[in-house]
Each structure stands twice: as structure tokens, then as C-alpha cells.
A and B are shown apart, each in its own frame.
Chain A
């Protein structure tokens, strides 16, 4: 449910309008649901609205944790 993707805010206009960018694709969205968004922030976009912010530091933390989950090499050989 609820297709939403993280995207970088590249421009901000009046009326809570902003442009987001994902790999060379630009789309206008609304920032009406999120306060204090700045250019360069990542937001979670759903049906043309930013629903919330994505925290890059927490994303890195999750990735590091994921990469560290792999068993040690000796265990790998056993399995």
C-alpha cells in the first residue's frame, strides 16, 4: 500500500509548492504537510505531497547495521 518514494527537494516556491528531483526526473509537489523544508532536504513523496522528511543520518545508520548483519566468515563456511 501507499506508494511513496524519497526525493531531494531542488526548488521551493510560494504556496507550499516545490520541485523534487530523482535521478534527472523533476516533479512539482506540495509541501503543505511538512514545515521548514529546505532545498537539499529529502522528503517522502506520496500522491504529489511530501508526507515527511527522510533523515540521511538515520538512513546511513540503518545501512551500516544491515551491512554488519552478515555472519562472520567462519560461520559462513559452516552454513
Chain B
């Protein structure tokens, strides 16, 4: 592939300096600098037939069936954290939102808003990671956009991804379908992502070896709907944690829930960090977890199928849907009492009292 390289050089002058270069306003202004950034970075790493066409849009042929579509913007500090970065996160998060409908995710778009002065080396690392995540998930980033804002008007990089997927015929999952008596399942330990991100924030100043659970869950979902097509709903408990997602489903389905504290998987390190900072793991973010609600007679075979998948080894049945006009999510504590598990009220802050 030496010919395109040579042509690149002629078209744009010197290649981008990924060692010491930084993003400048011209990289977002629609001129030659932007074309060079797209050519030498985005198109190169995210390469696929749609991007290669170089059009302002991707023209897609979709398989038959209902189409699921979602969009999400990623703003995270720090941009790099144990177990991932904003690039892989922007792929996993949107794939997961598609997958929670039971759909097979097919295509993504990616919009970047970059702060002037951002190191090209970091941007390259983010794009490479994004490309790796998309490749592993067999999903293509088929169209994109880049904007550069003045220094101080953004926090490094913001990414928006939109995704589409196709739902297999006959499958209907929705947050309003939970019924009293249904079982609630989760595919592993909660709070890993939030704690991994917090551990990189210098002002909190603690060390822990927990890595983010950031992962694309569509293959696990494929296995799950094959094992139990009767699943009522799936949802990924990201921001706001397990507690907030359970409350969302309870309200949507007009039901209550009763969960068992002792059944919810939590890593000891995550418990310890939460103890230290006065946080509750139920409200700490996840990026590779899903909650499934299914009729009780299918719960066991579903858990078994989940445990056979690499992303579901620590799956557990954590509670049941109950009739409750107040939509309370209640928790039977390991101590033997019970309490409400409420919505998250704004971001959890470390506390001293």
C-alpha cells in the first residue's frame, strides 16, 4: 500500500505528527487539515466500505425486520481508565443500548467534538480503541463527523455515537412488560466501571486494581434470547447504577420489585471503595452489565445459559417483580431487614458524614 501513502503526502504536505502534534481549530473547519485528519486517522483505523466511499452519508442495505436505533453522547473524565477509554466506551455503550431490544447491532455513526490543543497521540489512541471495539463486535462505524472547539470550551474529547440494529422476527422486549412474579437477573458484579473511573481521579487518591466492565453485550443477548425467548425486558444499568434501572422498569411496568441484597454480586474491592467514600454500590455505574426480567419458569435455564457465556460467568438471580401501586423497589437486606432502593438523586458525591 505504498501508492496511497505517497499520494497522501502530496495532497496534505507533511503527515500528521502523532507524537507531538495537537488538534488545531483548522482540523474542524472543513478544509484540507480536516480532510487530512479524517484520512490519516479516522478513515484509516475505522476502515470499511462505507467510509471508503467518502460520501457525506452511508447508504445501507438492512436485513428484513424491525430496526432499533439509539444515540448516546460520551463525556467522561478521565478519558482513559483501567479497562477502557472513551473510544471503546462509545462503541460498547451504544451497542448495548441497541442490544437491549434484542436487536443485532449493525452500524454506528461517530461524532467527535474535540478541544483545540488536544494531543493527536491521545486522539489516535482513542480512535484505535474505538476501531478495535467495533471490529471485535463486528459492527462498522459507517459515517462520522469532527468538530473542533476553542480551548476551554470542551473537556478534551466528547463523542456521540448513534447505532442501528435489526430485531429478530417474533422478539418483543420492552421495559413496560415486567409482571408480578417475574424473576430479575443480572450478569455479574456491580459498580466495577464507576470504581475503576474513580480510581483514576486524583482528588480521591486511592489505589485499587478494579478494571471497568465496559463490554459489548450483544453476543450475550443473542445467547439469552435463544435460551429464553420469553424474556420480558433487558436493560443495561449504566449511570445511576442497578438501583436507578430497576426503578425505571418498575415505573414503566407499573409494578414494584423486591431484591435480595445477599444475591447481588459485588467485588470486595468495590465494596471497600464504596465504604471508604460513603457511596452505595447500587448506584455506581456499570458499562458491561444487563438486567433481565423473565417469567419465573424460565429463570433457571436463562441463568444457566448466561453463566456459560464469558460475559455472564457471575450471573445471578437477584429478586422478583411484585405488585405495588407505589412502584417501590424494596431490598431485603443481608442483615434481615428491608429498605427502599430509591432513584439516584443527582450524582453520588464522596461524603464524610
Tell whether, in the assembled complex, residue A3 and residue B351 are in contact, meaning their CB atoms are under 8 Å apart: yes
Dominant SS among interface residues on chain B:
mixed
How many residues of chain B have a CB within 8 Å of chain A? 16
Q: Are B275 and A5 in contact (CB under 8 A)?
A: yes
Residues of A close to B207: CB separation below 8 A: 25-27
A-B contact pairs, 26 of them (CB 8 A): A1-B353, A2-B353, A3-B352, A5-B275, A5-B276, A22-B276, A23-B269, A23-B271, A23-B272, A24-B208, A24-B209, A24-B269, A24-B272, A25-B206, A25-B207, A25-B208, A25-B269, A25-B273, A26-B206, A27-B205, A27-B206, A27-B207, A28-B205, A45-B276, A46-B352, A47-B352
A interface, by DSSP: helix, strand, loop or mixed? strand
Q: Mark B256-281, 1 if CB is under 8 A from A, else 0.
A: 00000000000011011101101000
Contacts of B268 in A (CB 8 A): 23-24
Interface extent on A, as a size class?
10 to 19
Interface residues of A (CB under 8 A from B): 1-3, 5, 22-28, 45-47
Taking CB as reference atom, which chain B residue is nearest A21?
B272
B352 near A22 (CB under 8 angstroms)? no
The residue in chain B whose Cβ has the minimal distance to the Cβ of A28 is B205
Shortest CB-to-CB span from A12 to chain B, Å, is 17
Interface centre among A23, A26, A46 (most CB of B within 10 A): A23
Q: Give, as a whole number of angstroms, the nearest-CB distance from B149 to chain A.
A: 37
- The answer to whether B205 touches A3, judged by C-beta atoms less than 8 angstroms apart, is no
